[in-house]
Amino acid sequence: MKKLTIDVDVFESERINSGIRKLVLAGLLKDNPENQMGRVIQAAAGAKWMTLRELERTVFMMFFVADTQAAISARLREVNPKVHGLVKERRAVKDPDTGKLVYFYRLVAAEELVA
């Protein structure tokens, strides 16, 4: 059983990370591990695609807080470009072993704020 992933090329990664850096420098993206939304944003922002399980593990490794997959999913639904400067991207990949769809997520800078 091979782990499913979505590859990101160097150019896409640089474009996305550049947008995130611009948000940080503009003061729109603040590190706030005190609340769940802040932890999820810090874990999901960037070019890497992650499943909810991977986001759950990443949040725990970054902040030593066990936010559940359901809670992380809810916070991802609440991301608003006008408030957070980020948009949620979602992709589905069909698992060849089970035939089920596996969803991947990431947060990227909203285009109108980066330009």
Domain membership of residue 65 (yes or no) is: yes
64 occurs within a structural domain: yes
Residue 89 lies in a domain: yes
pTM, to two decimals: 0.89
> How many domains does the chain fold into?
1
Q: Which of 74, 75, 87, 92 is nearest to 114 (CA)?
A: 87
In a domain, 67, yes or no: yes
Here the CATH number for the domain that contains residue 72 is 1.10.10
**In tens digits, what is the pLDDT along the chain, a chain of 115 residues?**
568 899 999 999 999 999 999 998 988 887 778 899 999 999 999 999 999 999 999 999 999 999 999 999 999 999 999 989 999 999 999 999 999 999 999 999 997 554 4
The answer to the question of residue 74 being in a domain is yes
Q: Is residue 5 part of a domain?
A: no
Q: Does residue 23 lie within any of the structural domains?
A: yes
| Residue (of 54, 80, 86) closest to 69 by Cα position | 54
- Residue-number span of the structural domain to which 16 is assigned: 10-114
